[in-house]
């Protein structure tokens, strides 16, 4: 089995699988209030197709980590069964999932029992009014209950993903960290990226990694934890540890040089980068009877053409047409 390597020598071991583009929140940096036109149902990969592609990826392409994303993956009918089938693959991939937490209180136990290893929950505020303003839904309590259930189910470390925006929630960085420290959660701040469907991203509104570290250092001692490697987050021990906090500086300190990620969209397109402006159609090949070798070859070809990085600082930067909600984290 030859590794999945791009033209820059980067070895890809992390497959992100979007199971749906649908979501039950309307976060302002990700979706308009009315939502988006969802993918046609017939274009969405079936459970069998998802399990087949992941099976080929772990057996023939050296993928070791699989992250299930959306939209909101908890909305995917049959999710627990998909997790169980992925956990039964040989070799077994490490299984993670990124969710907004709505419905997690009900599903955490079943997902853990099915074989899910880790979970990331998005949480941008501890204040109900801000949650409603940001997500256009009054569901903060559900998210907090989901976090508790994930911990109780042993999906540890339970990670919390937070996007800070100037004038919206940047004043909550310390409160979010203290909440996570108190509840044994691992917080990661993510710089806001230009992936919104409205193409309204404004670098000045983005709170930078440097600002985040400075804010947290006002109340805590942060000690950097070694090299980042392919891990997107720069990690810091908080007050000598063992608790850590992560900062993902996607825009100001890109980690593309060590990128090990490839994505599969819910409608069966391979994206070799979060910011790819081209995709490789796997769904048509799957439904046209392609054998496993052909499927693997198509994924390899998609990776071979990967660019060096996201190019956000490039004056010719083009934001992808496909919105974040249809790409997945």
Q: Does 4 bind ligand SF4 (CB under 6 A)?
A: no
Residue nearer to ligand SF4 on the CB measure, 261 or 283: 261
Residue nearer to ligand SF4 on the CB measure, 115 or 309: 309
Please tell me what DSSP assigns to residue 225. Answer: -
Residue nearer to ligand SF4 on the CB measure, 51 or 274: 274
Please tell me what DSSP assigns to residue 264. Answer: E
Instruction: State the nearest-atom distance from the C-beta of 62 to ligand SF4, in Å.
Output: 17
Given 273, 296, 303, 324, the residue binding ligand SF4 (CB under 6 A)? 273
Given 274, 282, 299, 327, the residue binding ligand SF4 (CB under 6 A)? 274
Considering only residues 278-317, where is the footprint of ligand SF4 by CB under 6 A?
Answer: 309-310
Instruction: State the nearest-atom distance from the C-beta of 65 to ligand SF4, in Å.
Output: 14
User: How many residues belong to the chain?
Assistant: 329
Q: Does 16 bind ligand SF4 (CB under 6 A)?
A: no
Instruction: State the nearest-atom distance from the C-beta of 273 to ligand SF4, in Å.
Output: 3
Q: Distance (Å, rounded) from C-alpha 138 to C-alpha 133?
A: 9
Number of residues interacting with ligand SF4: please give it, by CB under 6 A.
10
Instruction: State the nearest-atom distance from the C-beta of 225 to ligand SF4, in Å.
Output: 19
* Residues β-bridged to residue 264: 17, 270
**Contact region with ligand SF4 (CB under 6 A), list: 95-103, 113-121, 133-141, 267-275:** 267-275
Instruction: State the nearest-atom distance from the C-beta of 10 to ligand SF4, in Å.
Output: 8
Pick the closest to residue 190 from 27, 68, 72, 17 (CA basis): 27
* Residues β-bridged to residue 222: 238
Given a contact cutoff of 8 angstroms between Cβ atoms, the answer to whether 301 and 3 are in contact is: no
Q: Distance (Å, rounded) from C-alpha 158 to C-alpha 180?
A: 10
Q: Does 256 bind ligand SF4 (CB under 6 A)?
A: yes
Q: Does 259 bind ligand SF4 (CB under 6 A)?
A: yes
Neighbours of 254 (CB within 10 A): 18
**Contacts for 242 with CB less than 8 Å, ≥ 6 apart:** none
Instruction: State the nearest-atom distance from the C-beta of 258 to ligand SF4, in Å.
Output: 8
Residue nearer to ligand SF4 on the CB measure, 29 or 275: 275
Query: Number of helices (H) and strands (E), helices first, in the chain?
Result: 9, 12
Q: Give Cα separations from 254 to 60, 85, 159 (angstroms).
A: 29, 34, 21
Pick the closest to residue 274 from 306, 300, 245, 246 (CA basis): 306
Four-point Cα dihedral 182, 188, 189, 195, nearest 10: -140
Instruction: State the nearest-atom distance from the C-beta of 276 to ligand SF4, in Å.
Output: 7
Given a contact cutoff of 8 angstroms between Cβ atoms, the answer to whether 186 and 144 are in contact is: no
Residues 226-255, one symbol each (x = binds ligand SF4 by CB under 6 A, - = not), give ----------------------------xx
Instruction: State the nearest-atom distance from the C-beta of 288 to ligand SF4, in Å.
Output: 28
Q: Which two tokens stand for residue 199?
A: 């193409």
SS3 assignment, position 132: helix
Residue nearer to ligand SF4 on the CB measure, 29 or 131: 29
Helices (H), 183-259: 209-216
Given 50, 275, 300, 326, the residue binding ligand SF4 (CB under 6 A)? 275
Residue nearer to ligand SF4 on the CB measure, 143 or 262: 262
Residues binding ligand SF4 (CB under 6 A): 254-256, 259, 261, 273-275, 309-310
């Amino acid at each position: 089995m030859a590794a999945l390597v791009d033209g820059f020598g980067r070895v890809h071991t992390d497959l992100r699988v979007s199971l749906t583009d649908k979501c039950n929140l309307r976060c302002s940096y990700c979706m308009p209030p009315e939502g988006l036109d969802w993918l046609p149902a017939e274009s969405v990969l079936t459970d069998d197709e998802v399990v087949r592609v992941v099976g080929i990826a772990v057996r023939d392409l050296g993928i070791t980590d699989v992250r299930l994303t959306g939209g909101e993956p908890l909305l995917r009918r049959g999710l627990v069964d998909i997790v169980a089938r992925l956990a039964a693959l040989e070799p077994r991939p490490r299984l993670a999932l990124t969710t907004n937490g709505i419905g997690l209180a009900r599903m955490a136990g079943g997902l853990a029992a099915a074989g899910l290893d880790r979970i990331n929950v998005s949480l941008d505020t501890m204040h109900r009014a801000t949650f409603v303003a940001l997500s256009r839904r009054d569901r903060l309590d559900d998210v907090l209950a989901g976090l508790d259930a994930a911990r109780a189910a042993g999906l540890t470390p339970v990670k919390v993903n937070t996007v800070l925006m100037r004038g919206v929630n940047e004043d909550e960085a310390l409160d979010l960290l203290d909440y996570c420290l108190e509840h044994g959660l691992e917080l990661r701040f993510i710089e806001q990226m230009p992936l919104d469907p409205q193409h309204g991203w404004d670098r000045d509104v983005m709170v930078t990694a440097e600002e985040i570290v400075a804010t947290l250092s006002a109340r805590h001692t942060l000690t950097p934890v070694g090299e980042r490697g392919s891990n997107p987050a720069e990690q810091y021990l908080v007050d000598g540890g063992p608790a850590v906090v992560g900062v993902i500086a996607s825009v100001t300190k890109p980690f593309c040089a060590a990128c090990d990620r490839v994505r599969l969209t819910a409608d069966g397109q391979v994206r070799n980068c979060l910011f790819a402006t081209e995709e490789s159609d796997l769904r048509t090949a799957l439904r046209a009877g392609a054998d496993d070798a052909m499927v693997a070859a198509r994924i390899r070809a998609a990776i071979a053409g990967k660019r060096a990085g996201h190019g956000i600082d490039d004056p010719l930067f083009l934001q992808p047409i496909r919105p974040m909600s249809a790409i997945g984290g």
